[in-house]
């Protein structure tokens, strides 16, 4: 589901005033309605002296509630994200396969950080379950199976007679297994490319999975993050549970390695930026190749929508044009800028060293 979300489009659209309403809702109608009504009352009060913005907000809320009343649903969805700006004639909605916290944000642009976190945390990966004659391919997206493929080849059973006939039989059997593994590897190549899966987990009994790995292209081999010993007739629930454990262990290892790489680059004066201001400057300049953000990190800042300029700290006016600015979460603005420039985002879970650096850092292109 996440691959259908146009993050670049969401990151690039904005208005000069806070006319965007971003809503994240759990798929629990009664709870969602109570939350919306409460937040609507709070924002109405906050906009009491801003008649134009209050009217825009009311129109946005009307559009959102009409959409919810229409009853559009997805069986797999556990949450919903909606972005609305009536002056910009903008309305986008996305069903999400994992649960998120209820949120309603009014800003000059769509609030996309929760989506960015979900996309990075729940990237799709493939499971290849196989023995010497059967294979099943699963695409796991947001902890659920979204695509499957079964493959089978009649491989002769082990021959019990001795002599030349046994040797010939074993050659034929080996040739049949070789052909089968080639067919599975070729299909997997297209499967991975089509589904944009970045990782592969090999599962199965005995040596088959390790033998199969030798049939993968270098590109696919680099995507293999784990091999798991398991019977071919394992239940789907156990298969997914074991694979997710390996997936998240690998994610945690990679996060820690990235921070260690950052530490090493800092020690030798390498191409990195850290701290909010330096990292922000690198992102705005398009120099950031990989942006690391501590999960949950927020920082107060300001933004001038006329100049599309944002900085940390506080200000009443833009130092470039002198116009009024809006208070923003500068980390959210950094995420939007990174998405619009194609910068890779990595959200790190509560890393102490990264937090000491200001909660954000970037590996630079130059």
124-134 per-position pLDDT tens digit: 899 999 999 99
Same domain, 86 and 133: no
Residues with Cβ within 8 Å of residue 113, at least 6 apart in sequence:
329, 331, 332, 335
Same domain, 157 and 196: yes
Are 243 and 135 part of one and the same domain?
yes
- Categorize the per-residue pLDDT at 143 as very low, low, confident or very high, splitting at 50, 70 and 90: low
The stretch 24-52 carries a mean pLDDT of: 92
Give yes or no: residues 174 and 275 share one domain.
no
Half-sphere exposure (Cβ direction) of 304: Cα atoms closer than 13 Å? 14
Taking the C-alpha atoms of residue 211 and residue 193, their distance in angstroms, rounded to an integer, is: 22
Q: Which residues of 221-258 are buried (b: 16+ CB within 10 A; e: fewer)?
A: eebbbbbbebebebeeeebbebbeebbeeebeeebeeb
User: Where does residue 81 rank: exposed (0-12), middle (13-18), buried (19+ CB within 10 A)?
Assistant: buried
Same domain, 279 and 245: no
Please state the pTM of the whole predicted model.
0.81
* Sequential DSSP letters for 160-172: ---HHHHHHHHHH
- 95 with 129, same domain? no
- Counting the structural domains of the chain, the total is 3
Element (H, E) at 21: strand 20-26
DSSP-assigned letters across all residues of 327-343: EEEHHHHHHHHHHHHT-
Residue 166: per-residue pLDDT: 65
- Output the pLDDT for position 305: 85
Residue 162 confidence (pLDDT)? 53
- Kindly report, residue by residue over 224-254, the tens digit of the pLDDT: 999 999 999 999 999 999 999 999 999 999 9
Sign of CA dihedral 292, 297, 299, 304: positive
CA-to-CA distance for 299 and 312, rounded, in angstroms? 7
* Per-residue confidence band for 73, with pLDDT thresholds at 50, 70 and 90: low
Q: 108 and 126 share a domain?
A: no
3-class DSSP state for residue 210?
helix
Is-contact 115 29, C-beta < 8 A? no
Residue 265 lies in a domain: no
Q: What pLDDT, on the 0 to 100 scale, is given for residue 13?
A: 95
Average of pLDDT values for 137-161?
72
In three-state secondary structure terms, 68 is helix
pLDDT of residue 163: 52
* Mean of all residue pLDDT scores within the chain: 90
Q: Determine, yes or no, domain membership for 260.
A: no
Which of 56, 78, 112 is the C-terminal boundary of a domain?
Answer: 112
Q: Per-residue pLDDT tens for 343-363?
A: 999 999 889 999 999 999 999
Using 50, 70 and 90 to split pLDDT, how confident is the model at 71? confident
Give the C-alpha separation, 288 to 279, whole Å.
Answer: 8
Question: Which parts of the chain fold into alpha helices (H)?
Answer: 7-12, 29-46, 51-69, 113-121, 163-195, 208-213, 218-221, 236-267, 276-284, 330-341, 352-356
Give the domain CATH number at 39.
Answer: 3.30.960.10
User: Any idea which of 61-75, 82-96, 204-218, 271-285 has the lowest mean pLDDT?
Assistant: 61-75
Q: What domain range is 172 assigned to?
A: 122-251
d(CA 117, CA 333): 14
* Calculated CA dihedral for residues 258, 2, 40, 49, nearest 10 degrees: 60
Q: Is the dihedral of CA 270, 274, 280, 283 positive or negative?
A: positive
308: domain CATH number? 3.30.1330.30
Final residue of a domain: which of 59, 94, 112?
112
Q: Are residues 107 and 131 in the same domain?
A: no
Out of 72, 94, 112, a domain closes at 112
Other CB atoms within a 10 A radius of the CB of residue 78 amount to 16
Does 158 lie in the same domain as 240?
yes
Is 201 among the domain residues? yes
Are 313 and 244 members of one domain? no
Phi, psi of 328 (to 5 degrees): -140, 165
The band of 155, judged by pLDDT with boundaries at 50, 70 and 90, is: low
Q: Which CATH number fits the domain that encloses residue 228?
A: 3.30.420.60
Average the pLDDT over 307-313 and give the result.
89
Over residues 15-42, the mean pLDDT reads 93
According to the model, what pLDDT value does residue 167 have?
A: 67
């Amino acid at each position: 589901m996440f691959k259908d979300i146009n993050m670049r489009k969401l990151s690039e659209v904005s208005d000069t005033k806070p006319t965007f309403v971003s809503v994240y809702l759990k798929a629990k109608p009664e709870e969602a309605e109570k939350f919306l009504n409460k937040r609507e009352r709070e924002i109405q009060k906050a906009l009491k002296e801003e008649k134009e913005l209050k009217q825009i907000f009311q129109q946005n809320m009307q559009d959102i509630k009409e959409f919810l009343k229409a009853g559009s649903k997805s069986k797999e969805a556990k949450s919903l994200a909606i972005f609305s700006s009536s002056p910009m004639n903008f309305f986008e909605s996305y069903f999400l396969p994992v649960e998120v916290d209820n949120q309603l944000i009014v800003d000059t642009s769509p609030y996309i950080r929760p989506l960015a976190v979900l996309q990075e945390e729940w990237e799709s990966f493939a499971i290849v379950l196989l023995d010497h004659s059967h294979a099943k391919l699963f695409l796991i997206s947001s902890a659920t199976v979204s695509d499957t493929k079964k493959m089978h080849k009649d491989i002769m059973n082990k021959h019990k007679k001795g002599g030349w006939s046994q040797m010939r039989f074993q050659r034929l059997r080996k040739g049949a297994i070789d052909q089968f593994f080639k067919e599975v590897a070729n299909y997997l190549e297209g499967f991975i490319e089509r589904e944009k899966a970045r990782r592969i987990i090999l599962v199965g009994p005995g040596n088959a999975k390790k033998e199969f790995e030798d049939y993968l292209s270098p590109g696919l081999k680099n995507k293999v993050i784990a091999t798991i010993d398991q019977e071919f007739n394992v239940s789907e629930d156990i298969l997914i549970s074991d694979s997710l454990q390996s997936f998240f262990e690998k994610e945690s290892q990679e996060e820690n390695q990235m921070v260690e790489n950052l530490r090493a680059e800092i020690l030798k004066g390498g191409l990195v930026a850290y701290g909010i201001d330096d990292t922000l400057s690198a992102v705005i300049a398009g120099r950031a190749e990989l942006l690391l953000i501590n999960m949950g990190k927020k920082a107060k800042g300001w933004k001038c929508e006329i100049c599309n300029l944002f900085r940390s700290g506080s200000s009443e006016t833009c130092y470039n044009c002198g116009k009024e600015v809006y208070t923003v979460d500068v980390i959210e603005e950094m995420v939007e800028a990174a998405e619009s420039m194609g910068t890779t985002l990595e959200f790190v879970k509560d890393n102490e060293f990264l937090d000491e650096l200001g909660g954000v850092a970037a590996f630079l292109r130059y």
